[in-house]
Amino acid sequence: MKLNNAVIHSFKVAKVFRENQEKSNSIDFSTSGEKLISCSEDDQIVLYDCEKGTQTRTVNSKKYGVDHIRFTHSSMTAIHSSTKVDDTIRYLSLHDNKYLRYFPGHTKKVTSLNISPIDDTFISGSLDKTLRLWDLRSPNCQGVMHLQGKPIAAFDPEGLIFAAGVNSESIKLYDLRSFDKGPFVTFMLNQEKECEWTGLKFSKDGKTILISTNGSIIRLIDAFHGTPLQTFTGISGYSNNKGIPIEASFSPDSQYIFSGSTDGRVHVWNADSGFKVCVLNGDHQNPVQCVQFNPKYMMMVSACTNLAFWLPSIEEE
């Protein structure tokens, strides 16, 4: 089944989970698409089986809090940032709820955490104005980049370069093998006046970069030249008027952009034309902060306090 406008229009909520008392702040699919993990402001980590549409496990992180949760390359381990005690990144075994390793170094809140698509390298950004490179196998930081502002970061799909968005106005591209030489290219964009950048993502084909914000703007730029391609804004009925970081995501074929919003709905645009495809209503009572499309299966997940699994309602031809 291929994604097209008709299929997207047909997406309906297939299942709703209401485990959390507070809003979800991050979700992530395993590489195989079989598992989903979420974390929320009530310090809960919840694991789901995407094939069966069931919740399989709940892990509490009451002591350290939890944000920016990411699967490693095993669907039974994850890394996450902390919201209490300190700003250490933690590596968790979901199998027996034990921490395997700690990654201390950041001195302020972690704003970005991403694992390489190809190996055990991961990257973190923080309000302490540094980006740090790590390896899951060692608690020691592999490299530090000092920047002029709050960074957010992402790996490209091949895991060879990473992008750092700094101060909501520039994107710096680094070669992973020689990052200590500094960025090999910097794209300057007009600095956001009304909002801040809160997330960066490469499209699966590596051609574009999606920038999420805590305002009513989502930007799409060319990953090779830094040229602005699309701006998805409040003019098209999309709203983020509460100053919260709202996630925007690509479909696996890089054709569509999905985003949550403060009106509790999921907004979908065509990445090439910039046109609004549709708005999906899933009865979210609160702002939808997290939206992702499964990398392997025809399903989408959105989360406010509740978490919803979406499936297309038209039959395959």
pLDDT at residue 235, as a whole number: 57
Residues 291, 266 contacting (CB under 8 angstroms):
yes
Could you say which DSSP state residue 5 is in? H
* φ and ψ of 82, to 5 deg: -110, 150
Weakest-pLDDT range from 3-12, 97-106, 115-124, 126-135:
97-106
Predicted confidence (pLDDT) per residue in 207-243, tens digit? 999 999 988 889 999 999 999 999 987 655 666 767 7
- CATH classification code of 24-104: 2.40.10.480
| Cα distance between residue 239 and residue 236, in whole Å | 9
Average pLDDT of the residues in 48-70 = 83
pLDDT at residue 317, as a whole number: 46
DSSP-assigned letters across all residues of 201-241: EE-TTSSEEEEEESSSEEEEEETTT--EEEEEEGGGT----
Res 203 pLDDT > 80: yes
Q: Residue type for 251, please? A: S
CB burial string 19-30: b at 16+ within 10 A, e below: bbeebbbbbbbb
Residues 182, 173 contacting (CB under 8 angstroms):
no
Res 244 pLDDT > 90: no
Predicted confidence (pLDDT) per residue in 261-292, tens digit? 888 899 999 999 999 999 999 878 888 999 99
| Cα distance between residue 261 and residue 216, in whole Å | 9
Share of the chain above pLDDT 70, in %: 95
Res 316 pLDDT > 60: no
Please state, in angstroms and as integers, the Cα–Cα distance from residue 178 to each residue in 17, 60, 65, 104, 145, following that order: 44, 38, 34, 23, 12
* Cβ neighbours around 315 below 10 Å, total: 7
Torsion of CA 252, 253, 257, 261, to 10 degrees: -30
Average pLDDT of the residues in 121-148 = 91
Domain range annotation of the chain: 24-104
| Cα distance between residue 66 and residue 68, in whole Å | 7
Contacts 24+ apart (CB under 8 A), 181-185: 185/226
Edge-first strand order for the sheet with 138-146 is: 110-115, 121-126, 130-135, 138-146
Average pLDDT of the residues in 32-50 = 89
Weakest-pLDDT range from 19-23, 89-93, 138-142, 154-158:
19-23
Q: Which of 229, 207, 199 is nearest to 290 (CA)?
A: 199
